[in-house]
Amino acid sequence: MTQPGNYAVCIVGLGSMGMGAAKSCIKAGLTTYGVDLNPQALATLTQAGAKQAAASADSFAAKLDAVVLLVVNAAQVKNILFGDNGLAAQLKPNTPVMVSSTISAADAKEIEQKLKAHNLPMLDAPVSGGAAKAAEGEMTVMASGSERTFEQLQPVLDAVAGKVYRIGEEIGLGATVKIIHQLLAGVHIAAGAEAMALAARAGIPLDVMYDVVTHAAGNSWMFENRMRHVVDGDYTAKSAVDIFVKDLGLVADTAKALHFPLPLASTAFNMFTSASNAGYGKEDDSAVIKIFAGIDLPKNKENP
């Protein structure tokens, strides 16, 4: 059994989820490295106890026992692994690569094949739970891959996950489960925004409406988490509108490939796309409520 301090992992992508995952690895005693282009994120992780944090893994790639990618999309995953000076060519043979970005099943399979050419196993392992769960080491991981790859990544999974679902061995199954999950997440945010917008139009104080729903049957995790941002008037991005434009686009592509109708997801996709088109793409995904005209929304009391 590998001892935690002798196990070196690199988290690539130190956004809200990646930072939480990296800090959870540090807390678990893993030798933790971080990669991001944001100097502030690198400084934050270094202060948290990372062995090293840098804009690339060039100086420590050969030391790693595992890599976790938590970047935005498949294009970033491919560029990091296989672009100029790509990470895949720098890793020791048989180093497991855990791809935790939300990507299509087709992209997951393509990445697996390219990793195989470098003798690197892949775990198709999207995650959920938000920044708070990531920071607590309690993310939900929905993963597919070989039993051996799960074993190789067990120290990482123990550090970052509260629940690990082993979907199967075929790469792409994890990605598909995450995409279906994102269908629900996106529809719940869009429906919550629509309900709160209607309340605003009816003159119901949004803090009252929020309190009622979160203590009644209409509540959901997404309503409770995201509509709090609306009540506070704080649209600082935890997960941006453009993330759901991307994720619901993957939902639409999956449905198209399966010749399957998704009327609610299609409407939510249009709502997020409209919000992005109106200039709210970089704001918190709860800013989808701003597409509704003729309503007054709460202002941020701390930063009006």
Spatial distance between the Cα atoms of 139 and 9, rounded to a whole number of angstroms = 17
Catalytic residue among 133, 178, 238, 290: 178
What distance lies between CA 217 and its chain's CA centroid? 27
119-129 b/e (C-beta count within 10 Å ≥ 16 → b): ebbbbbbbbbb
Residue 178: active-site member: yes
Based on DSSP, count helices (H) and strands (E) in the chain, helices before strands: 12, 9
Spatial distance between the Cα atoms of 128 and 151, rounded to a whole number of angstroms = 21
Q: How far is CA 53 from CA 25, 47, 92, 105, 132, in A?
A: 14, 10, 19, 30, 22
Nearest to 227 by CA among 193, 191, 188: 193
Spatial distance between the Cα atoms of 224 and 228, rounded to a whole number of angstroms = 6
Question: CB–CB of 168/196 below 8 Å?
Answer: no
Q: Give the up-direction half-sphere exposure of residue 288: CA atoms within 13 A in the CB hemisphere.
A: 30
Residue 168 DSSP SS3: strand
Q: Which residues are catalytic?
A: 178
